[in-house]
Structure 1
Amino acid sequence: NVPPTGDYDFAKYNTKVDVLKYTDEEYEKYLTEPTWSREETDQLFELCQRFDLRFIVIADRFPTARSVEDLKSRYYSGT
């Protein structure tokens, strides 16, 4: 039994999302949102990176009760 050589056919689809990174100054200038705390925003962006923008999974693991639509809205308003 010989193992296959070369790239796996579907390896080209195994990509990671580049999630926005921001400094304290950038957060204050561009990302401040009255209904979101800095801590929640940081958690959201970390989960987006970790779970490749799979918002159903992110919503399941998000520490506060936020809808999938709220999470998507917050993420995409900052990018």
Structure 2
Amino acid sequence: MRNSETPSVADHSVRSFLFAQLLAAHEGCLEDPAYDRDLLFAATVLHDLGTGDLAKGEARFEVEGADLAADLLREHHVA
């Protein structure tokens, strides 16, 4: 994320994680066995990859970002 997005977009992505973590705590999700902090982090910091340098500009940014995130997760053997 930091290698492809502008600093302001990367910071936004990290803030998104922090706010999502606060919301999860507020909603009582932290004690839920299905809650996965690492997955929440990955989803929030990768959610704007389509706005960065890795995107080819062939589709909408959200589509390209989702594809880039999926490729990265597959590369690291994350289901």
Q: Which has the larger radius of gyration?
A: 1
What TM-score comes out, normalization by structure 1 length?
0.40
What TM-score comes out, normalization by structure 2 length?
0.40
Which structure shows the higher helix fraction?
2
